[in-house]
Amino acid sequence: MTERVRGRPARAWALRVAMPLVVLILIVLILEVTQGDYPIPFREALLTLIGAGTGEYDLVVNRFRFPRALVALLAGAALAVSGAILQGITRNPLAAPGVIGLNAGAALLAVFAIVALPGLSSSWLPPIAFAGALTAAGLCYALAWRRGLSAIRLVLVGVAISAVGGAGVAFLLTFSSIYDAKRAVLWLAGSVYGRSWEHLWSLLPWPAVLFPSALLLGRSLDALQLGDELAKGIGLRLEWSRGLLLLIAVGLAGSAVATAGTIGFVGLMAPHMARYMVGSVSARMLPVSALLGGLLVMLADLIGRVAFAPIEVPCGILIALLGGPYMIVLLYRKQETGGSRI
């Protein structure tokens, strides 16, 4: 897809896609606030949100449900944009934040903290997980660098780091108590359970700064997908652009994983869905990816919280149940078309 998508002008089609997605997000947000073990009428929920309610629903709406929904929205959007950037700089349509070991690094350090420091407050897990994600990304970048950063080496080193991190997590869980293992497994599954305004404020600055930065570098991302030689030929500072985009992807994914745990497949699915809707130009694809990623995580959280009540299923599990078959379909389509299309 180039300047026209299915026969419609690209800009008009982007608006036709973005507006319905925004409406869907608002609908899911309303359902997140009003539905659950303690149903709340829409009018009362709205009045409570704007501070004009009676106070009866204030704790449920403003303390538990609303910030939780916003964390799900931001975390999903951050993972989706991170995945879109990684797919662009590696030219690998199956790349996702986990491909450079982010999830594995965050998981290993978080589980180590849970097992080694049983009395550690949960408020310490996000910064510890973020440090693990940054460490894994830095190690991956350093090992992949050899007179320049090779996209192929980056992916291969990332796979190796992910394998080592997964083995380390399994080793730690073997020697942990039942309580600590349960706590670690819940975090590993990916969930926004118990997320509050504190978590939202710690997450918000990352996408607020890095989303616009990714859009400003959109043309560089488009050029990188043409191949290294052609990108150099049109005057792109290859290593500088790739390194800066990688740093943005790491910041987005690391902050999301640190806040919501290891939610997989969002960074894989959302960019592909966005490309199908609006094409591959970053100025259109990145915002739509963000909307789709946020919608996916919010919807999975809503279903996991309401559909199986009183049991709550982590949103990461539901997304994985959808993401596994989705990856198989992508691989099958790639094989059918000889790798020319995903």
DSSP string, 95-159: --GGGGTHHHHHHHHHHHHHHH-TT--GGGHHHHHHHHHHHHHHHHHHHHBSSSB-HHHHHHHHH
Q: Which of 163, 68, 202, 174 is nearest to 111 (CA)?
A: 174
The per-residue pLDDT for 10 is 52
- Report how far residue 235's alpha carbon sits from residue 30's, in angstroms, rounded to the nearest whole number: 48
Q: Are 119 and 209 in contact (CB under 8 A)?
A: no
Query: How confident is the model at residue 191, as a pLDDT?
Result: 86
For the stretch 63-78, pLDDT in tens is: 889 999 999 999 999 9
Sequential DSSP letters for 266-309 = HHHHHHHHHHHHH-S-HHHHHHHHHHHHHHHHHHHHHHHHHTTT
Q: Omega before 205 cis (within 30°)?
A: no
Residue 15 tokens read as: 């608006």
Do 276 and 14 meet the contact criterion of CB atoms below 8 Å apart?
Answer: no
The angle, 0 to 180 degrees and rounded to 10, between the axes of the packed helices 282-306 and 205-216 is 150
Residues 6+ away with beta carbon under 8 Å from 302: 28, 31, 32, 35
pLDDT (tens digit per residue) in 186-222: 778 888 888 889 889 988 999 999 999 999 998 888 8
The whole-number pLDDT of residue 335 equals 55
* CA separation, residue 240 to residues 142, 214, 308 (Å): 15, 14, 48
pLDDT recorded at residue 148: 67
Write out the chain's pLDDT in tens, 342 residues.
Answer: 444 444 455 566 657 888 999 999 999 999 999 988 888 888 888 888 887 777 778 888 888 899 999 999 999 999 999 999 988 888 777 778 877 788 888 888 888 888 888 777 767 777 888 888 888 888 888 888 777 666 678 778 888 998 998 899 889 888 888 888 887 887 788 888 888 898 899 889 999 999 999 999 988 888 888 776 776 777 677 778 888 888 899 889 888 988 888 888 898 889 989 988 888 888 889 999 999 999 999 999 999 999 887 888 888 889 988 877 877 776 676 555 554 444
Question: Which candidate, 301, 309, 330, places its Cα nearest to that of 32?
Answer: 301
> Could you give all domains of the chain from N- to C-terminal order, each with its CATH number?
4-336 (1.10.3470.10)
Identify the H or E element spanning 4.
Answer: strand 4-5
Distance CA 155, CA 150 (A): 9
Q: What is the pTM of this model?
A: 0.87
Q: Which residues pair with 9 in a beta bridge?
A: 4
Instruction: Say which residues have a Cβ less than 8 Å from residue 133's Cβ, sequence separation at least 6.
Output: 102, 103, 105, 106, 250, 253, 254, 257, 258
- Residues 183 and 51 sit within 8 Å (Cβ to Cβ): no
- Give which of 191, 169, 202 is closest to 101, Cα–Cα: 169
C-alpha span between 329 and 104 (Å, rounded) = 25
